[in-house]
């Protein structure tokens, strides 16, 4: 938005040139609609929004309460005679190479992937968002320092950095994987937030707030951030999926979650050995992983379309 008061020639309209009656007649009784309400309206009508939302809700419930979906323990009762066995009663997906029930492993594997995805996304969004907002809003020395530090982390691709750090870390849990991924991914969000805040802080309503004597910090929190957060939300939704893929890649390489943690990445890696004889052992965890990632990607797409007025007009 252009700042209309910053032109070289100031022009103040004569009082009788200003149609005050027209201004007075604008109905202000209803609360102004926020851009998020508009976005909600745009999303509500799209089937893909509801499909992805239901999928995500289901995945979250599976991750939180795996016992609701299966009575079979994923690591107990594995019998070698069942190795790579096909589906049978009570075991709809068949058995792994070790003779464990694939269905229960897929169900219990959700927790690790979802934990890593959500935790890393929350960390990156909160940390990167706050840093980017402060740097963009206050500018100056803080901005310079933060941007240079961000450049350094940005120069290291997330998964490459995670490979280095994970290959030397002594403890590997979903939390450490999420922390490591977040450590290398925050500059992306920080950059987006910074750019968005810089664009928003010169808007007229900010100038108006300054004129009214609102404190700087309050302006940032109340006015600038809500108007600058949309691009961050879009990237965060999509990156949740990419974090889940990153965790699976690390686990496949053997430096993500340790083998005793139930995880789709680990199961896919182990199923590779018997791909020629029992491809279904690989298929189920891979399908679960891809469906999860797909749900978040589709949601991200819908949210982006809804929050971007340009895209909304185009559709």
Partner 1 sequence: MFRYIGLRLLQLIPVFFGATLLIYFMVFSLPGDPIAALFGERPPPQSVIDTIREQYHLNDPFIVQYLYYVGGILTGDLGTTYSGRPVSDLLGQAFPITFRLAMLALFFEAVAGIAVGLIAGLRKGKFFDASALVVSLLLISVPTFVVGFILQYVFSIQLGLFRTTVGPGAPIQDLILPAIVLATVSFAYIVRLTRASVADNMQADFVRTATAKGLTRGRVVRVHILRNSLIPVVTFLGVDIGSLMVGAIVTEGIFNINGVGGTVYQAIKRGEGPTVVSFVAVMVIIYMLANLLVDLLYAALDPRIRYAK
Residues at the contact surface with partner 1, assessed by CB under 8 A? 148-149, 151-153, 155-157, 159-161, 163-165, 167-170, 241, 245, 248-249, 252-255, 265, 268-269, 272, 275-276, 279, 282, 286, 289-291, 293-294, 297-298, 301, 314
Shorter beta-carbon distance to partner 1: residue 116 or 220: 116
Is residue 263 within 8 Å of 257, Cβ to Cβ?
Answer: yes
Could you write out the three-class secondary structure of 103-152?
HHHHHHHHHHHHHHHHHHHHHHHHHHHHHHHHHHHHCHHHHHHHHHHHHH
Which sign, positive or negative, has the C-alpha torsion 275, 277, 278, 279? Answer: positive
Shorter beta-carbon distance to partner 1: residue 151 or 204: 151
d(C-alpha 278, C-alpha 271), whole Å: 8
> Least distance to partner 1 from the beta carbon of 148, Å?
7
Shorter beta-carbon distance to partner 1: residue 64 or 275: 275
Maximum C-alpha span of the chain: 94
| CA-to-CA separations, 63 to 47, 140, 149, in angstroms, rounded | 24, 44, 35
Shorter beta-carbon distance to partner 1: residue 83 or 290: 290
Q: What burial class does residue 188 get, using C-beta atoms within 10 Å of its C-beta: 0-12 exposed, 13-18 middle, 19+ buried? A: buried
Shorter beta-carbon distance to partner 1: residue 66 or 269: 269
Shorter beta-carbon distance to partner 1: residue 207 or 249: 249
> Least distance to partner 1 from the beta carbon of 273, Å?
10
* Closest by Cα among 249, 245, 203, 247 to 225: 203
> Least distance to partner 1 from the beta carbon of 2, Å?
19
Collect all residues with Cβ–Cβ distance below 8 Å to 196 and sequence separation of at least 6. 132, 136, 228, 229, 230, 231, 232
> Least distance to partner 1 from the beta carbon of 294, Å?
4
88: three-class secondary structure by DSSP: strand
> Least distance to partner 1 from the beta carbon of 48, Å?
10
- Cα radius of gyration (the chain): 25
> Least distance to partner 1 from the beta carbon of 284, Å?
12
263: three-class secondary structure by DSSP: coil
Shorter beta-carbon distance to partner 1: residue 199 or 297: 297
> Least distance to partner 1 from the beta carbon of 198, Å?
20
């Amino acid at each position: 938005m252009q700042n209309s008061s910053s032109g070289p020639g100031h022009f103040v309209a004569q009082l009788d040139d200003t149609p005050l009656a027209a201004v007075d007649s604008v109905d202000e009784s209803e609360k102004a609609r926020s851009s998020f309400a508009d976005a909600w309206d745009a999303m509500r009508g799209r089937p893909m929004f509801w499909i992805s939302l239901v999928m995500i809700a289901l995945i979250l419930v599976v991750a939180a309460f795996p016992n609701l979906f299966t009575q079979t323990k994923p690591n107990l009762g594995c019998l070698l005679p069942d190795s790579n066995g096909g589906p049978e009663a009570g075991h709809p997906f068949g058995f792994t190479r070790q003779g464990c029930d694939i269905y229960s492993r897929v169900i219990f594997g959700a927790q690790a992937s979802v934990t890593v995805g959500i935790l890393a996304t929350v960390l990156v969004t909160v940390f990167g968002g706050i840093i980017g907002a402060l740097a963009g809003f206050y500018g100056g020395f803080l901005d310079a320092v933060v941007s240079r530090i961000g450049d350094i982390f940005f120069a290291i691709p997330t998964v490459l950095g995670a490979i280095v750090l994970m290959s030397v870390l002594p403890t590997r849990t979903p939390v450490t994987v999420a922390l490591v991924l977040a450590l290398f991914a925050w500059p992306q969000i920080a950059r987006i937030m910074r750019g968005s805040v810089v664009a928003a802080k010169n808007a007229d309503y900010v100038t108006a707030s300054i004129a009214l004597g609102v404190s700087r910090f309050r302006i940032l929190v109340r006015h600038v951030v809500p108007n600058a957060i949309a691009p961050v939300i879009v990237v965060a939704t999509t990156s949740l999926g990419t974090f889940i893929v990153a965790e699976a890649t690390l686990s496949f390489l053997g430096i993500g979650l340790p083998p005793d943690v139930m995880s789709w990445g680990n199961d896919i890696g182990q199923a590779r050995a018997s791909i020629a004889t029992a491809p279904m052992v690989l298929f189920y965890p891979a399908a679960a992983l891809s469906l999860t990632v797909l749900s978040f990607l589709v949601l991200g797409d819908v949210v982006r379309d809804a929050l971007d007025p340009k895209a909304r007009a185009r559709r």
